[in-house]
Chains A and B, each alone.
Chain A
Amino acid sequence: MYSFFIRRVLATIPVLGMVAIFVFFMLRMTPGDPAAVLAGDNGTPQQIEEIRESLGLNEPIPIQLGIYLADILRGDLGQSYFFKRDVTELIGLRVEPTLALASTTLILTILVAVPLGVIAAFRRGTWLDRGVMGFSVLGFSIPIFVLGYILMYVFAMELKMFPVQGYKSIFEGFGPFIHRLVLPSIALSVIYIALIARITRASVLEVLGEDYIRTAYAKGLPRRVVLMKHALRNAAIPIVTVIGIGVALLIGGVVVTESVFNIPGLGRLTVDAVLGRDYPTIQALILVFSFTYVFINLMVDLTYTLLDPRIRY
């Protein structure tokens, strides 16, 4: 058990290393002179040279890679061209809104999606099931930004129930904080809810076909007990797994949602950095987002041991 924890934690190291190396080579493998690309169409030769110098592009590749990895390990993610400050510091300033948005979305998703999926599975083939499945296909298909604008139009502009855009820190009071997060969280959670509801339904249905469910019925247990006690816990692992994997969707969605609702978080920072061709910042953000993603999935794997006594690796 203990060794499982350690091995699972160690197993993330090659993945993280791989991510870091990708990010490194992504810049170096682009066709043409990366420095020229970064300088943009109007870059002067002097600017290009400066960029080359600051990125250490004049060094041989292995040395560049070594420096780059050592910097990451020290927590030094470089200097932003666009914002003219330490990227680490910049990320620190922008992290709160993103964390807030992601957390509310995650909570909303789990609270809505799991019951929806369970109900759909229990009432398989009924209009309720078809409704949930229909919503799920729809949820996968509506682009977050279209949904965001529709929500904004209806609930903020027409009904005036919520502020149109913006963000207030939780330190300025919980009321205004949560008030501004309602619409973005809904917009962001729809695709995630679609995913989790679907997988919940599928897992529960699969479990309901298992032999031990038949045993439970043969014991004379009522349907409700069979479902809640026997089916749900066995269906939990795939559900939790997909909640973890779905965080990738969430991260992609954060970038869009923050742009639509004008939330000054890491997603907005990403877009600004891309538009400003601020490569050190883009690089750092990819690392931060990917590392977070890997970390969350590590946590998910570790919860397996709580859910299933068979897992002892």
Chain B
Amino acid sequence: MSQIQETHGDVSSLVDAAAEADASSRKLSIWERLLQDKSVVIGGSIMAFMVLLSIMAPLLGTMDPSEIDPTYRNKTPGFEKVWTDEDDKEQSWAFRMGTDTLGRDTYSRVIYGTQVSLIVGITVAALSISLGLVIGMFAGYIRWLDGLVMRVMDGLMAIPGILLAIALVSLSSAGLDTVILAITIPEVPRVVRLVRSIVLSIREEPYVEAAISTGTRLHLILYRHVLPNTVAPLIVQGTYIVASAILVEAILSFLGAGIPPEIPTWGNIMAEGRVLFRIFPHNILFPGIFLAITVLAVNMLGDGLRDTLDPRLEKRT
């Protein structure tokens, strides 16, 4: 028999037609399908672990992440600090990931850094999705607005995202809120485009035309017929935004243009470790690994969500 892998329109649609008849009885719920997807399970578990880590940071054998101790500067991972307390008892503290040039415990800083990364990632995704959804819906449905909005979005998209974020941060006083806003703005046009393209294709659907001819008002058409179609693609897109926001935040901090250096973020720890990288690579290595694993997990989750919720997304973007 032929060894052709690729499906051929007619035959595969025929298989679909045959399979469709009893689709209802065999249809798995969304949750069941998600749990069958390896990427979703692995990515999701790592993410859950990271969230747990960030919430439980104070309980995980950490010390104050910004406590400076000049006597223990630049210690390698595993170094033990030994001292006697007021009761003349000998105490010890192991710097599991070493210390930085100011003598701060890298382990504690990395664990606390999880908080900032997750907050930035999730907030940026939520903000850019909501903004993009509103703008995209209006642009897709109001013709005169469309041209104007899309010109503005084209202009925004022409500025490379990281560059725009760097510039925005450099203009305002550095802080968590500024950084979040600066990362959000370059993401918005992409969401707008996605939402607009969905709106434009859905409004051509006969069921929307049927709703129009039965006298359904615009806001109800958007709410009942258009909005539900944006949910799956936006969940997927939102996940990818989480990943890219975490990365961009780390890059900004690393370049010294992000969150103030005393706040422990993975980017800040690495920025701190740059100078003495040749001798003490651990300050870059450990936060780097955490960062990479987190972003990898979010990306895997995104891929899995796309495959299960919205298989056509790859084509659309």
Question: A: which residues have CB within 8 A of B?
Answer: 14-19, 21-23, 26-27, 30-31, 34, 37, 124-125, 137-138, 140-146, 149-150, 152-153, 157, 164, 202, 205-206, 208-209, 211, 213-214, 217, 223, 247-249, 251-253, 255-256, 259, 270-271, 274-275, 277, 279, 282-283, 285-286, 289-290, 293-294
Contacts and interface: CB of A to CB of B under 8 A. Distances in A.
B166 A255 contact: yes
Contacts of B154: 14-15, 18
A145 B164 CA distance: 19
Contacts of A223: 3-4
Contacts of B228: none
Nearest to A164: B278
Interchain residue pairs A-B with the least CB separation, the first 3: A18-B155, A252-B162, A146-B288
Contacts, number: 164
A10 B247 CA distance: 35
B270 interface: yes
A50 B300 CA distance: 52
A282 B170 contact: yes
B303 A252 contact: no
B10 to A, nearest CB: 9
Contacts of B315: 202, 206
Interface of B: 2-9, 151-152, 154-156, 158-164, 166-173, 243, 247, 250-251, 254-257, 270, 277-278, 281, 284-285, 288-289, 291-292, 295-296, 299-300, 303, 314-315
A144 B250 CA distance: 11
A274 B155 contact: no
Contact of B162 (A15, A31, A209, A255): A255
Contacts of A256: 162, 251, 254-255
A19 B171 contact: no
Contacts of B296: 137-138, 141-142
A192 to B, nearest CB: 13
A146 B285 CA distance: 7
B159 A140 contact: no
A17 B255 CA distance: 29
A115 B66 CA distance: 48
Contacts of B292: 141-143, 146
Nearest to A273: B170
Nearest to B173: A37
A274 B6 contact: no
A18 B151 contact: yes
| Most-contacted residue by chain B among A37, A124, A223, A270 (CB, 10 A) | A270
Contacts of A255: 162-163, 166, 255
Given A30-B171, A141-B296, A211-B9, A290 B257 contact: no
A18 B158 contact: yes
A248 B6 CA distance: 33
24 contacts: A14-B151, A15-B151, A18-B155, A21-B155, A27-B171, A124-B5, A137-B299, A138-B296, A143-B251, A143-B254, A143-B291, A146-B289, A208-B5, A209-B7, A248-B160, A251-B162, A251-B163, A252-B161, A253-B162, A256-B254, A256-B255, A274-B166, A277-B170, A290-B160
Contacts of B270: 145-146
A193 to B, nearest CB: 15
Given A143-B288, A270-B166, A274-B257, A37 B251 contact: no
Contacts of B243: 140-141
Given A15-B154, A141-B243, 8 more contacts: A14-B151, A17-B155, A37-B173, A137-B303, A141-B295, A142-B292, A205-B6, A252-B161
B172 A31 contact: yes
Contacts of B255: 255-256, 259, 271, 274
Contacts of B277: 149, 152-153
Nearest to A138: B296
Contacts of B166: 255, 270-271, 274, 282
Given A143-B288, A289-B163, A275 B158 contact: no
B240 to A, nearest CB: 9
Contacts of A150: 288
A289 B314 CA distance: 27
Contacts of B288: 143, 145-146, 149-150
A286 B163 contact: yes
A213 B160 contact: no
B166 to A, nearest CB: 6
A271 B160 contact: no
A140 B277 CA distance: 24
A30 B178 CA distance: 11
A26 B169 CA distance: 11
Contact of B167 (A26, A140, A217, A259): A26
Contacts of B300: 137
| Most-contacted residue by chain A among B156, B163, B284, B314 (CB, 10 A) | B163
B171 A34 contact: yes
Contacts of B162: 251-253, 255-256
Contacts of B5: 124-125, 208
